[in-house]
Amino acid sequence: MTTLTLMPSLLAGTVTAPSSKSMGHRFLICAALAQGESWIRDVSFSKDIAATRRCLEALGATIMEGPGEKGRKTYFVKGQPPHQKSPLMDCGESGSTLRFLIPLAALDGNCYNFIGEGELGTRPLTPYETLFKEENLHFHYGSERHFPLSVQGPLKSGHFVVPGDVSSQFISGLLFALPLLQRDSTIEITGSFESQSYVALTLSALSTFGVHVFQDEPRLYRVLGGQAYRPYSGSVEGDFSQAAFFLVAGALGKGISIRGVKTSSLQGDKAILPILQRMGAKLEEGPESLTIHPSSLHGIRIDASDCPDLVPILSVAAALAKGTTEIIHAERLRLKECDRLKAMASELTKMGAHVEERPDGLIIRGVPMLHGAGADSWNDHRVAMSLAIAATRSDGPVILTGSESVQKSYPQFWQDYESLGGKIK
Ligand SMILES: O=C(O)C1=C[C@@H](OP(=O)(O)O)[C@@H](O)[C@H](O)C1
Ligand SMILES: C=C(OP(=O)(O)O)C(=O)O
């Protein structure tokens, strides 16, 4: 485990956001399923993207990596419908990889063994377990926190009922696989439908690769069978979930410009912009970048149902805002790499913030300044990055353990942090 000593220092300058991890996964998956050759450019390398690549290779795709600048790579992908090259699906710590690829592994009738690290084995899979068992398909948990999980198809088309409040990744996973079945299928969402914007990202990636899904009703997707993914070459857009860390740092610090994110994006985490504006931030959109000016923030009520990944960094903004912030509909935060509500409440409290944990969110009363303290990343990249931004506005050093967890989504984070004036001892 790596420990960093973060010295207080207000951040300023310009940074380029890494490419969207969510779209990176989706483009690689679609390219791997397309009969032909695709070039996926500007993919920011991360452990999660590496996991998806590994598993797609196990499903039969040929993937080669070309050089790129600042941790960005071009992937050459020669795809085909799933055809087992190896039964081992090593998902690392990536929930997206695990949940997107289970239905794809169930297409070719072979048995696949899914393994993973960290808390991945404890993250819910029950919606798939139920669907597979209903269809009499093999879905068998191993003894070590679910792993190895063995799964075997063949998955058949039909009507799939999926709860909307566990993870949208189950819906996305089915949406990738069902177009490759012979007959038509439908997916019905029950309960509250959270992280919907991520399903919109999946539909957009599918359509980029020539696959079409009809949304007949807000909670009903109709997927025609017998479709084929078409190869596509293009770049992956910038990541609002990652830009959010430096947008908050800019508001709390001396102003930051972010390059590489587009406000026309479908990413749900684009919500960081209106949320920060509602908190009083001054934002400016230029032709090349988005600029956030030093701002005095105030507390607001934030509904996190469509942007769960923003909560850790929003809790830092709230901890330093005037008045009270209420974050609601965030119960799914407990099912991520760690219990993110508990983690942020615990670590920010150590730094002198006033955070009350609620079953579905956080109530945060802002303070003018945080204190230096020992803080832990809970092996969670978004907790580590959020605490790093909190450290910029503390009155003494923050000794952060588990700083290597950023490798999961943003290995360049510490370089970018230092380039903006972050001080690491
Ligand atoms: O589809 C995706 O790319 C993701 C969906 C979200 O998960 P949930 O749907 O489980 O909230 C998000 O938290 C995750 O980081 C990425
Ligand atoms: C929860 C995350 O990813 P995943 O679900 O893919 O592990 C994340 O990136 O914050």
CA–CA separation, 138 and 115 (whole Å): 16
Together in a domain, 1 and 148: no
For ligand 2, whether the C-beta of 94 sits within 6 Å is yes
pLDDT at 145 exceeding the cut of 90: no
Confidence of residue 144 (pLDDT cuts 50, 70, 90): confident
Asked if 102 and 53 sit in the same domain, the reply is: yes
Instruction: State yes or no: pLDDT of 229 exceeds 90.
Output: yes
- Which residues have a Cβ under 8 Å from the Cβ of 43 and sit 6 or more positions away? 19, 24, 27, 28, 49, 68, 72, 73, 74, 75, 236
Average pLDDT over residues 103-125: 97
Structural domain ending residue among the three candidates 179, 214, 231: 231
Instruction: Identify the pLDDT of residue 405.
Output: 98
Do 24 and 12 lie in one domain? The reply is no
Average pLDDT in the 70-85 region?
Answer: 94
Same domain, 120 and 23: yes
Model pLDDT for residues 237-264, shown as the tens digit of each residue = 999 999 999 999 999 999 999 999 999 9
Sheet arrangement for strand 213-217: 159-163, 185-190, 220-223, 213-217
243 with 270: CB under 8 angstroms? no
Residues 182 and 304 in one domain: no
pLDDT tens-digit series, residues 303-343: 999 999 999 999 999 999 999 999 999 999 999 999 999 99
Which structural domain range is residue 129 located in? 19-231
The per-residue pLDDT for 69 is 78
**CA-angle at 135, arms to 133 and 136, nearest 5°:** 60
- Give the pLDDT mean for 164-171: 97
- The percent of residues in the chain predicted with pLDDT above 70, rounded, is 100
Pocket test for ligand 1, best of 195, 240, 341, 382 (most atoms within 8 A of CB): 195
Instruction: Quote the number of domains for the chain.
Output: 2
Q: Is the pLDDT of residue 170 over 90?
A: yes
- At 293-305, the pLDDT tens digits run 999 999 999 999 9
Structure tokens that stand for 319 in this block:
């901890």
Q: Does residue 12 sit in the same domain as residue 23? A: no
For atom 5 of ligand 2, which residue has the closest CA? 95
Q: What is the pLDDT of residues 172-213, one digit of tens each?
A: 999 999 999 999 999 999 999 999 999 999 999 999 999 999
Q: Same domain, yes or no, for 23 and 8?
A: no
CA-closest residue to ligand 2 atom 4: 95
Whether residue 342 is found in the same domain as residue 384: yes
Let me know the angle formed at the C-alpha of 191 by 221 and 204, rounded to the nearest 5 degrees: 35
Task: Tell me: ipTM over 0.95.
Answer: yes
pLDDT of residue 67: 80
Do 151 and 245 lie in one domain? The reply is: no
C-alpha dihedral over 293, 296, 300, 306, to 10 degrees? Answer: 20
Q: Output the six-digit token pair for 258.
A: 């972010």
Looking at 231, 246, 263, the residue that finishes a domain is 231
95 lines ligand 2 (CB under 6 A): yes
> What does the pLDDT read at residue 54?
98
Pick the last residue of a domain from 203, 231, 259. 231
Residue 306's CATH number? 3.65.10.10
Q: Are 37 and 231 in contact (CB under 8 A)?
A: yes
Residues 6+ apart with CB under 8 A from 245: 313, 385, 386, 388, 389, 413
Instruction: Give yes or no: residues 160 and 223 share one domain.
Output: yes
Residues 396 and 306 in one domain: yes
Q: What is the C-alpha separation between 355 and 341, in angstroms, rounded?
A: 10
Is residue 111 domain-shared with residue 249, that is, in the same domain? Answer: no
**Could you tell me if the CB of 22 is within 6 A of ligand 2?**
no
Q: Single out the residue of 188, 130, 189, 198 nearest to residue 165, CA to CA.
A: 189
The per-residue pLDDT of the chain, averaged, comes to 97
- Crossing angle for the helix pair 381-392 and 240-252, to the nearest 10 degrees: 20
CB of 240 closer than 6 angstroms to any ligand 1 atom? no
Q: Does ligand 1 have an atom closer than 6 angstroms to the CB of 332? A: yes
403: pLDDT confidence band, cut at 50, 70 and 90? very high
Q: How far is the CA of 201 from the centre of ligand 2 (A)?
A: 15
Instruction: Name the residues annotated as catalytic.
Output: 309
- Rounded Cα distance between 30 and 86, Å, is 19
Q: What is the pLDDT of residue 71?
A: 83
Percent of the chain with pLDDT over 90: 97
Q: In what order do the strands lie in the sheet containing 301-303? A: 301-303, 324-328, 361-365, 354-358
The DSSP element (H or E) to which 384 belongs, if any, is helix 381-392
Q: How many Å lie between the centroid of ligand 1 and the Cα of residue 96? A: 7
